[in-house]
A = this chain, B = another copy of it.
Amino acid sequence: MDMKFQPIGREAITELLRVHGITPTSQRVKIAGILFAERAHFCAEQVYARVNEDDAEVSKATVYNTLGLFVAKGLVRQVFVEPGKVFYDSNAHPHHHFYDTGSGELTDIDALGVALHELPPLPADTELDSVDVIVRIRQRQPKIRPA
């Protein structure tokens, strides 16, 4: 088990939202609770499914609005690995990703384990937003002699 990961309580989530300038409505707290409950990457559909596991309480529009707000406020980060699917990543530590092209699973790579040097100078009048490294992997095929 990864000792660095700590799920956080409800009050802590409320505080986290406030700190990021987000009014903690019940829907937002619930969604944040899901995102921070475990080290995982969810897409909007999955968040929507989880948030409504019992009875439908949060609309799809709110899920999208809220995730968008969290991104804008820097609470979570989007990861693009496939067309037409965005993952939301609540891991605040600098890190990158393995993406299993077969299963669609996304897992973290600690940025400390990746040395990225010598980026060329940025184009004029631009500033760095983020550096995304996605290592695409696939299940190894049992070796079959090509025909």
Q: Are B126 and A130 in contact (CB under 8 A)?
A: no
Tell me, in angstroms, the Cα distance from A80 to B79 when the chains sit together.
10
What class of interface size applies to chain A in its complex with B? 35 or more
Chain A interface SS verdict (over half)? strand
A140 to B: closest C-beta gap in Å? 5
Chain B residues with CB under 8 A of A135: 119, 122, 128, 130-132
Chain A interface residues toward B at CB < 8 A: 78, 80-86, 98, 100-101, 107, 109-110, 113-120, 122-123, 125-140
New A-B contacts (8) at CB < 8 Å, excluding given A83-B84, A131-B134: A83-B86, A115-B118, A126-B138, A126-B139, A127-B137, A127-B140, A128-B135, A129-B138
